[in-house]
């Protein structure tokens, strides 16, 4: 929350509390403990800049009608030295406060003094949060779901950072287990086919063009020398050749997407370092596993039933879920992905000590959420320390039609295809225009359009327009300077006041976005800020003859410019000075 806004709200609380005590002393209100009250911004500013329900919530304590309580309070209010110039009673007893000029000046001074830090707060109290996102299978190229997940996860991490958390961005590399075995088989078959061997690729293998490309690159380096080697040796060599190249391509794609991970965590380290076995041992020792058909099973049904009953769910409700147990170690001795996933989350929350782990997953993983939270409980970790953000899928749309094919491969469009066609600013911004749980159509035509219809262009244009205004005035010899409070108090036009009030809400927007894991609140703030500015610009000429008013309006423009730039930088979107 803005320091100035917080100060204003605290003043109201103090004004009300003091007035109640005065009213009691005068016998206007009875001696009784007063109740907690709220301070809010009315939907209609004609009803004041702030409103409180202090009279209503105290009706029972004082055994008086709210209106009568409000009259006693207002009669004893003292606004001297506060941000308020008047107070009124409305309706059944709402008490409305109206801001005075100095408040608006102080908001602008606060933004100036905070600079690039404006909007930052200590809401998170430095708690350590791990945000894991994208984590695409390294056996193939990243797809459109990864495109949305990348923008969402990275911007969520930025929002949490602004809200005062210590944030770590992480990519989980699935470089062990069944998918790597399938990767090895697919590479092996393609390798042999390219060398003339008559062999079919199984239906459940990887059929993408990238597998053929890796196999062809392997042939360029090693020729047919591996045809005579054993299947195990050949597949091991192919994976060791292809996997690093795929990971390198992923790192390059993420860098192009302006995503910098603090850690690329290898699943293989869980297997080789003993943490996977350690985690399974903990589950077994806790009585949460059993053996059946040569495999080791996890008692998922028992754990989830216990958790659901604790939440007040009925047994009938639980029975309808048809909960099932999960395999941890297959009969062939290989751990399942689920087993590794439990060890991985234990690594984040227990071994590395994050206060909270946030995973950004596709909506198709919704059934895995309760299982993973239950598994945390089973290994002795508070399930509430794990939050999973489910993200709905994306459809690409062009000319009103769904786009399904890539020109290069004839297959589904990949993240790299998208970044080669659409400006990265637009991709990052537009993917954060909707809350994660909502389905999304990504309009390719809109993303490249240079008009106010394109939300990112609209915001960038507001920033560039302010830069142009300042440059034009400087060319006329009108250089910006600092302003006095008295000069800023000249900003009394409706559009000026609306713009300043909106600027003051950024802190609350950041906190709400962090609370709800919803970066879309920030992108919408940027759009609304651009709208407020354009409305101001169209109704309040900056280069007026009154030098003090001109400087005050320049000062306001600069604060909007700096705030917009800060938001765009947070989203890792460019803030151009010319467009």
* DSSP code per residue over 347-384: IIIIIS--SEEEEEEEGGGHHHHHHHHHHHHHTT--GG
Tokens of 563: 């705030």
User: Could you tell me which of 411, 314, 323, 405 has the C-alpha nearest to residue 368?
Assistant: 323
Greater pLDDT, 247 or 400: 247
Taking CA atoms, 173 is separated from 15, 216, 478, in Å, by 57, 24, 56
Cα–Cα distance, 413 to 213 (Å, whole number): 17
Report pLDDT digits (tens) over 363-397: 988 889 999 999 999 999 999 999 999 999 888 99
Binned at pLDDT 50, 70 and 90, residue 2 comes out as confident
Report pLDDT digits (tens) over 294-305: 999 999 999 999
Tokens of 187: 């590479």
SS3 of residue 434 by DSSP: coil
Q: With beta carbons less than 8 A apart as the criterion, state whether 160 and 131 touch.
A: yes
Cα–Cα distance, 182 to 150 (Å, whole number): 25
* Residue 68 exposed, middle or buried by CB count within 10 Å (0-12, 13-18, 19+): middle
Cα–Cα distance, 560 to 55 (Å, whole number): 37
Question: Within 540-579, where are the H helices?
Answer: 547-570
- pTM value is 0.91
pLDDT at 407 over 90: no
Binned at pLDDT 50, 70 and 90, residue 404 comes out as confident
Binned at pLDDT 50, 70 and 90, residue 47 comes out as confident
Tell me the residue length of the chain.
Answer: 579
User: Could you tell me which of 312, 320, 280 has the C-alpha nearest to residue 298?
Assistant: 280
Q: Work out the average pLDDT over 324-347.
A: 96
Q: What is the pLDDT of residue 532?
A: 97
Give ranges for CATH 3.30.1360.70 in the chain: 3-99
Binned at pLDDT 50, 70 and 90, residue 177 comes out as confident
Tokens of 56: 């209503």
Report pLDDT digits (tens) over 201-216: 999 899 888 999 999 9
**Helix (H), strand (E), coil (C) string for 491-548:** CCCHHHHHHHHHHCCHHHHHHHHHHHCCCHHHHHHHHHHHHHHHHHHHHCCCCCCCHH
Binned at pLDDT 50, 70 and 90, residue 490 comes out as very high
User: Could you tell me which of 428, 508, 549 has the C-alpha nearest to residue 5?
Assistant: 508
Domain 3-99 class?
A: alpha beta
Binned at pLDDT 50, 70 and 90, residue 405 comes out as low
Distant-in-sequence, close-in-space partners of 504: CB < 8 Å, separation ≥ 6: 2, 4, 5, 107
Q: Work out the average pLDDT over 272-297.
A: 96
Binned at pLDDT 50, 70 and 90, residue 44 comes out as confident
Cα–Cα distance, 459 to 560 (Å, whole number): 11
Q: What is the pLDDT of residue 393?
A: 85
Q: What is the pLDDT of residue 411?
A: 63
Cα–Cα distance, 459 to 451 (Å, whole number): 10
Q: What is the pLDDT of residue 354?
A: 98
Cα–Cα distance, 235 to 215 (Å, whole number): 11
Angle between helices 144-162 and 506-516 (to 10 degrees): 130
Q: What is the pLDDT of residue 302?
A: 96
Average pLDDT across the chain, whole number: 94
Q: With beta carbons less than 8 A apart as the criterion, state whether 51 and 96 touch.
A: yes
Q: Work out the average pLDDT over 418-434.
A: 94
Greater pLDDT, 562 or 145: 562
Cα–Cα distance, 347 to 190 (Å, whole number): 37
Tokens of 173: 């590399």
Report pLDDT digits (tens) over 452-461: 999 999 999 9
Question: Within 358-482, where are the H helices?
Answer: 366-378, 415-421, 424-430, 444-448, 455-475
Report pLDDT digits (tens) over 495-551: 999 999 999 999 999 999 999 999 999 999 999 999 999 999 999 999 999 999 999
Q: What is the pLDDT of residue 113?
A: 96
Q: What is the pLDDT of residue 298?
A: 97
User: Could you tell me which of 204, 88, 210 has the C-alpha nearest to residue 140?
Assistant: 210
Cα–Cα distance, 542 to 521 (Å, whole number): 30
- Domain 452-570, CATH: 1.10.730.10
Rounded to 5 degrees, φ, ψ at 198 are: -85, 95
Rounded to 5 degrees, φ, ψ at 353 are: 70, 30
Tokens of 154: 């990275």
Q: What is the pLDDT of residue 409?
A: 47
Angle between helices 520-539 and 506-516 (to 10 degrees): 160
Q: Work out the average pLDDT over 156-172.
A: 98
Rounded to 5 degrees, φ, ψ at 467 are: -60, -40
Cα–Cα distance, 89 to 51 (Å, whole number): 9
Q: Work out the average pLDDT over 315-342.
A: 94
Binned at pLDDT 50, 70 and 90, residue 104 comes out as very high
Give ranges for CATH 1.10.730.10 in the chain: 452-570
Superfamily of domain 267-391: HUPs (3.40.50.620)
Tokens of 527: 């759009």
Instruction: Give DSSP secondary structure letters for 229-268.
Output: S-HHHHHHHHHHHHHHHHHHHHHHHHHHTT---SEEEETH
Cα–Cα distance, 370 to 357 (Å, whole number): 15
User: Could you tell me which of 386, 387, 394 has the C-alpha nearest to residue 432?
Assistant: 394
Instruction: Give DSSP secondary structure letters for 92-130.
Output: TTEEEEEE-HHHHHHHHHHHHHHGGGTT---TTTT-EEE
């Amino acid at each position: 929350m803005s320091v100035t806004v917080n100060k204003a709200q605290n003043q109201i609380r103090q004004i009300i509390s003091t007035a109640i005590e005065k009213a009691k002393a005068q016998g206007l209100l009875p001696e009784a403990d007063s109740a907690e009250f709220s301070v809010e911004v009315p939907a209609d500013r004609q009803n004041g800049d702030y409103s409180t329900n202090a009279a209503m919530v105290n009706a029972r304590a004082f055994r008086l009608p709210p209106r009568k309580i409000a009259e006693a309070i207002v009669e004893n209010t003292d606004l001297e030295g506060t941000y308020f110039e008047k107070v009124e009673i409305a309706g059944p007893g709402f008490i409305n406060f109206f801001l005075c000029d100095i408040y608006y000046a102080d908001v602008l001074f606060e933004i100036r003094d905070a600079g690039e830090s404006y909007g930052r707060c200590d809401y998170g109290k430095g708690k350590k949060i791990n945000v894991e996102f994208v984590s695409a299978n390294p056996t193939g190229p990243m797809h459109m779901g990864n495109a949305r997940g990348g923008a969402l996860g990275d911007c969520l991490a930025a929002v949490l950072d602004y809200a005062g958390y210590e944030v770590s961005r992480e990519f989980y590399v699935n470089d062990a287990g069944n998918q790597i075995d399938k990767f090895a088989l697919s590479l092996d078959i393609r390798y042999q086919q390219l060398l003339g061997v008559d062999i079919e690729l199984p239906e459940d293998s990887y059929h993408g063009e990238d597998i053929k490309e890796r196999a062809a690159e392997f042939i360029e380096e090693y020729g047919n020398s591996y045809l005579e080697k054993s299947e195990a040796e050949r597949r091991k060599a192919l994976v060791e050749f292809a996997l690093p190249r795929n990971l390198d391509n992923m790192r390059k794609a993420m860098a192009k997407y302006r995503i910098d991970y603090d850690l690329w965590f290898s699943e293989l380290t869980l297997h080789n370092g003993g943490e996977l076995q350690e985690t399974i041992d903990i589950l077994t020792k806790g009585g949460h596993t059993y053996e059946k058909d040569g495999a080791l099973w996890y008692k998922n049904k028992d754990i989830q039933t216990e958790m659901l009953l604790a939440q007040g769910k009925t047994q009938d409700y639980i029975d309808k879920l048809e909960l099932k147990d999960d395999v941890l170690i297959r009969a062939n001795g290989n751990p399942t992905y689920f087993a590794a996933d439990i060890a991985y989350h234990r690594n984040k929350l227990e071994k590395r000590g994050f206060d909270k782990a946030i995973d950004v997953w596709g909506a198709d993983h919704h059934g895995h959420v309760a299982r993973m939270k239950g598994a945390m409980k089973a290994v002795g970790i508070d399930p509430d320390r794990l939050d999973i953000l489910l993200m709905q899928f994306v459809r690409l749309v062009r000319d009103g039609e769904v786009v399904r094919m890539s020109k290069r491969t004839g297959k589904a469009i990949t993240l790299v295809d998208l970044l080669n066609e659409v400006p990265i600013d637009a991709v990052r911004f537009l993917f954060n225009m909707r809350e994660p749980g909502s389905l999304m159509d990504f309009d390719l035509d809109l993303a490249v359009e240079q008009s106010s219809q394109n939300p990112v262009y609209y915001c960038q244009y507001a920033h560039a327009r302010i830069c142009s205004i300042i440059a034009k005035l400087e060319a006329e010899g009108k250089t910006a300077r600092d302003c006095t409070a008295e000069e800023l108090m000249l900003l009394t036009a409706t559009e000026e006041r609306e713009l300043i009030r909106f600027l003051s809400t950024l802190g609350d927007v950041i906190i709400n976005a962090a609370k709800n894991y919803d970066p879309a609140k920030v992108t919408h703030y940027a759009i609304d800020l651009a709208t407020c500015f354009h409305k101001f610009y169209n109704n309040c000429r900056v280069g007026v003859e009154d030098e003090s008013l001109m400087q005050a309006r320049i000062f306001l423009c600069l604060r909007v410019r700096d705030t917009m730039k800060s938001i765009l930088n947070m989203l890792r979107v460019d803030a151009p000075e010319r467009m």
